[in-house]
Structure 1
């Protein structure tokens, strides 16, 4: 730590030299700016030497000074020719012009140095104050081992600060270990090998511990205080949540790495099945016995994705990014409380209490709502693990429809920015309310299972890589090559997809009303009022959705719906007009993953030159074709890199799933049948306070039924 007074001496010396320079400058300015007239013959006489000292000066006019000031701004160092031209124009000799510019440059230099001196003085004062504060802090520092005073030269200030923080953390760990011992009826463990395992959130060897999990803790122990639906855990709950998270971490890692007999191949070797008997023997504690009426679902899937492990961990631990990337599965999510933010500037050791609602893109499949803790840990081999485990037993609800057993993923770093992901999903659910046509898919575990999570993650990683790509070939017609335009259009399409996904499922945040049709599938409708959302047109929005089965493979249905050439066969609003693709952005390796801007050239003048933003995406478990009419002026702003948040969208579209696991291999299913959900959002009144008319409902009902019939007629006649 240098002495601030030494710097102050330097500044004083600099000031002194600066003052000398100013005095010289003033002398030079006077002798140069006001040029002395040439002496007469009498003045040259030695006898008149006294009179020669009385110099007469020529003062510049205001016009001459203004002209030279203006020229100085353009050229501070004029050459001989420029000085002669300027002097001729202003009625000055070149020597006068030369002296004026010299003095002006000296004046500017001294002014600049004065400003620098002022800044140095201010910085010196700041350093002097900090120096005093650091010396006082070090003089009062205590040794963390003996508690006595620490010599100033023994350690840096940063090291001293870290040691004091470690002492504080050790005291906090001891305090929490005491609380844990009180509530889980186990002896208090010393810091070195006990509860520190829980707060450091390490990965150790956990054997059965009576009274911890699966015993009285989940059997209605009156020491547990219930958590209300929207609030976080109580102080008494937190030690048990920590213990539960650590045990869940060990369970997920072992389930991700184990083979037979825990995981056994299915009869057709297309997937793995968890042996419940072996599971109950391997993990006897768990989170308590399975409640009556619930059945188990377990699945495991691995894949290599084009994203580094740091970004993957950040996506999983940031609830907004997690909801955005998995918008097809996560309809709603929130972080209720952060128990730990992690250490070392990352999420290592982070603990979050969360709620989330998981969905299938259809109003015919009830959502699954969970209250759980999410825990992230980096292990000694460099592998990251992010695990969830249900806390539903801490809530006041007496009936649980879904309970999340330890689930999550392991992330292993690979070269070139890739990562290997092993995903484990394990839940206990009551799925009796699932519609008949979706039951085979849900029973197989593919609707909410690990394969769907991994497939969606892989596709979204490709989408993010496409958004960041800079080497876009400019040869193809309609390809958006400017990074700003690509980024804005992809951001707008992402918002469109999220809006569609959150509005098409059976979320508890929405209330669907069933309209029974004659001879057609049931249509479900709901209304929303949009007032202050800049991304939605103001007024009453009517959403209508229906799901039905087609004896056609999902890939064929997807290709038919995304092709602009076949759009007139099902899109009633295009009125048979020609649909042309104006621009597109590739969104992955599959050609079906893209964002397009379509123009509808309709004979109807009111729809002439209408633009449609469309995103199509497909993976091994699900595919979407989502679109929304957009304003031409607004899209021009977006294509030029403008802010897309204020473009109003009402997305409609299709969600396509396989009808079961029969032909569900490793790739995109090209056999079997399809489960197709059709959904529309229409602005029925621009006044938010208006009441919905029965005529509007009938119109939307007819629109969606007519669209369904057209699709069935076009592709439904073929057999699988």
Structure 2
């Protein structure tokens, strides 16, 4: 085939370039040469083929361009074929992922990725909303003739230091860092600047939370359910150099997930309400306050975009472990339909606008992801992540429990939330239940009794809090026993004694033993002897697990011939169990069952708390609630409360302390004898 060759010279009349068609012989000889011949080779070809030097030069240039175009076309075709195969595989994997079903809950898993979160769009939308808010604020101030506030008033929170307590595990300057002269407020700063700064802190924390939830920062917990944060891997992405020189500070991170029997929006609103928050976590939160509402709900009433400055006190389940207090921001965002993120983070402002806080421990980016499920329930991923400052040595009994993250970890939060949401369902179902199979025929009476029992449970947990609160007036703590005394109160003088021991039995075994009122009451209460008769008059189920119920016992004493009532509630979840009771008079029970006001009923709750000891030789068992730690040992906390109304002056003298020790030691011995553990 003949080929054309451009000689590169222009004709004299400027009409274009002249072209000469090459013969087949010329083309074959040119193709046999290399692609880039030098000048000597081109001169030889020009002589042999009777062609100009320019013709040979341009022929090789055109040939190289043609070869490059052919190569590009072949590569393009190959890439298109590979893209087609990838698209087909992607479609197949997407179809498979949409059909995945969680073996535990039977519903699709929560999508925790942030691929659908357009950060740029969100930032632009936030900026537009901020400008609109400022415009509306200016218009409103013109109508009301009021200037917007120039500082954030956060002085409503009482940060007065409380008296320290005694004992090796309590007298370590626990509360000496609280300075009452430092106000909990920014110093002379414009409110809009402070709010914007806090919004930036919360937004960055939410971004970090979404990243750490889905990244490989976690390892399955060796104890109980959930995952534990790997500090080294986390520190590579988010360095924390300020912790290197402080041996008393460490980072604690845990993660757990599960289904909560509560509507998604109701759950979000509950987590933004301090009073509802304390009701939802009666065994964890002893105090919660919203210090400042920095960003409120939208005009439609949606909690999307709410930013709160909050204060929380987290209580352990033994006075031998100090409670924890946090000041933090809580930020609520709906990142896509039916998916919410609630972020918690400590509020660290600049040095000029430093938010002074009595709490040394800080919340690192943490919180929860809440996804609405088709059946009206919610799938929750809970993350606890904090920088902890230990102000006092941890009691040896609770070393494993605290440092493993089980004492305040995500598994405990989620288990409590699941348990309480289930309790709410039974409380609301009591409205339509008119049967008297439980011993209470009136739905109002049943609801009133369940609410009163809930208050008893909460007060019981608050009483054993290690940090001194406003309820108790005197404290006396030793290595293993915490003694509290309240004098001249509305319910008279009260003496409280609390201790914790370890028993070589699983928490399930101990709970099954104590939930029977005949066993627990006779062992824990001096007023109930082995000869007395305990007859269960009321039994109200408050959970799907058989151990979660409320009982009212009729107490017949053979010695005094008196009849009294005992109210008992059993609380059992994956993190531990509680058996709480109180003695009631007949007229008090009538007020409760009639739905009357019960604020003046004296309440002296006593009981026990059973939790796994946290040692790593634990096994795990799966239940309907999730993975439960099946420990070979348990930590048993006994709380003993005695009313002393007939004594006018009660002080902490040697006799009172000896009486308290004798009471609690006698109770411990009775328990060991009943469990055949006398040698322990």
Q: TM-score range by the shorter chain?
A: 0.5 to 0.7
Contact 2:318 2:464 in 1 (8 A): yes
Contact 2:317 2:637 in 1 (8 A): yes
Distance 1:229 1:616, change over 3 A: farther
Match for residue 627 of structure 1? 581
Question: Alignment partner for residue 239 of structure 1, among 192, 196, 207?
Answer: 196
Query: Displacement of 1:511 after TM fit?
Result: 7.5
Query: Secondary structure of 1:649's partner?
Result: coil
Distance 1:551 1:351, change over 3 A: same
Query: Displacement of 1:681 after TM fit?
Result: 2.0
Q: Deviations over 1:378-415 (max 9, x none)?
A: 12233111111112674546x96422101111111112
CA distance in 2, matches of 1:325, 1:503: 18
1:457 aligns with 2:417: yes
Q: Which has the larger displacement, 639-648 or 661-670?
A: 661-670
CA distance in 2, matches of 1:483, 1:230: 48
Gaps of 5+ in 2: 1-128, 140-178, 621-625
Query: Secondary structure of 1:642's partner?
Result: coil
Question: Alignment partner for residue 333 of structure 2, among 372, 377, 380?
Answer: 377
1:556 aligns with 2:514: no
CA distance in 1, matches of 2:634, 2:498: 16
Contact 1:390 1:404 in 2 (8 A): yes
Match for residue 656 of structure 1? 610
Query: Displacement of 1:263 after TM fit?
Result: 2.0
Match for residue 550 of structure 2? 595
Query: Secondary structure of 2:375's partner?
Result: helix
Query: Secondary structure of 1:300's partner?
Result: strand
Distance 1:230 1:609, change over 3 A: farther
Query: Displacement of 1:513 after TM fit?
Result: 4.1
Contact 2:431 2:447 in 1 (8 A): no
Contact 1:524 1:544 in 2 (8 A): yes
CA distance in 2, matches of 1:270, 1:329: 18
1:527 aligns with 2:485: yes
CA distance in 2, matches of 1:543, 1:488: 27
| Greater helix share, structure number | 1
Match for residue 430 of structure 1? 389
Match for residue 184 of structure 1? none
Gaps of 5+ in 1: 1-164, 176-225, 532-536
After TM superposition, the structure 1 = structure 2 runs for residues 211-610 of structure 1, keeping only pairs within 5 Å, are 231-233=184-186, 235=189, 237-256=194-213, 258-260=214-216, 262-266=217-221, 271-283=226-238, 292=246, 293-343=248-298, 344-391=300-347, 394-396=354-356, 401-431=360-390, 433-470=393-430, 477-509=437-469, 513-514=475-476, 522-529=480-487, 531=489, 537-566=490-519, 567-576=521-530, 577-605=532-560, 608-610=562-564
Distance 1:472 1:168, change over 3 A: closer
CA distance in 2, matches of 1:229, 1:528: 30
Distance 1:716 1:367, change over 3 A: farther
Query: Displacement of 1:586 after TM fit?
Result: 0.6
Match for residue 641 of structure 1? 595
Q: Deviations over 1:176-195 (max 9, x none)?
A: xxxxxxxxxxxxxxxxxxxx
CA distance in 2, matches of 1:687, 1:493: 28
CA distance in 1, matches of 2:348, 2:512: 42
Contact 1:270 1:664 in 2 (8 A): no
Distance 1:350 1:560, change over 3 A: same
Contact 1:462 1:588 in 2 (8 A): yes
Distance 1:486 1:405, change over 3 A: same
After TM superposition, the structure 1 = structure 2 runs for residues 707-718 of structure 1, keeping only pairs within 5 Å, are 707-715=667-675, 717=677
Contact 1:387 1:409 in 2 (8 A): yes
> How many pairs are equivalent?
493
Q: Deviations over 1:353-383 (max 9, x none)?
A: 1111112111100111111111111122331
Query: Secondary structure of 1:572's partner?
Result: coil
Contact 1:547 1:676 in 2 (8 A): yes
Match for residue 39 of structure 2? none
After TM superposition, the structure 1 = structure 2 runs for residues 72-87 of structure 1, keeping only pairs within 5 Å, are none
Distance 1:605 1:446, change over 3 A: same
Distance 1:525 1:584, change over 3 A: same
Length-normalised TM-score, structure 1: 0.63
CA distance in 2, matches of 1:287, 1:418: 41
CA distance in 1, matches of 2:528, 2:256: 42
CA distance in 1, matches of 2:585, 2:604: 12
Question: Alignment partner for residue 565 of structure 2, among 611, 616, 632?
Answer: 611
1:676 aligns with 2:636: yes
CA distance in 1, matches of 2:363, 2:563: 50
Query: Displacement of 1:602 after TM fit?
Result: 1.4
CA distance in 2, matches of 1:280, 1:644: 52
Query: Displacement of 1:249 after TM fit?
Result: 1.2
CA distance in 1, matches of 2:375, 2:181: 46
CA distance in 1, matches of 2:534, 2:259: 37
Query: Displacement of 1:476 after TM fit?
Result: 7.5
CA distance in 2, matches of 1:691, 1:570: 24
CA distance in 2, matches of 1:351, 1:694: 52
Q: Which has the larger displacement, 400-409 or 359-368?
A: 400-409
Q: Deviations over 1:581-639 (max 9, x none)?
A: 11021111111111111111111216x21101111111111111111111111212222
If asked which structure has higher relative contact order (CA below 8 Å, sep 6+), I would say 2
Query: Secondary structure of 1:298's partner?
Result: strand
Contact 1:441 1:659 in 2 (8 A): yes
Contact 1:316 1:322 in 2 (8 A): yes
Length-normalised TM-score, structure 2: 0.66
Query: Displacement of 1:254 after TM fit?
Result: 2.3
| Greater strand share, structure number | 2
After TM superposition, the structure 1 = structure 2 runs for residues 122-271 of structure 1, keeping only pairs within 5 Å, are 169-171=133-135, 231-233=184-186, 235=189, 237-256=194-213, 258-260=214-216, 262-266=217-221, 271=226
CA distance in 2, matches of 1:279, 1:498: 36
Q: Deviations over 1:239-288 (max 9, x none)?
A: 322211111111222222x143x22335699642323333234345x897
CA distance in 2, matches of 1:287, 1:319: 34
Contact 1:367 1:508 in 2 (8 A): no
Query: Displacement of 1:313 after TM fit?
Result: 1.1
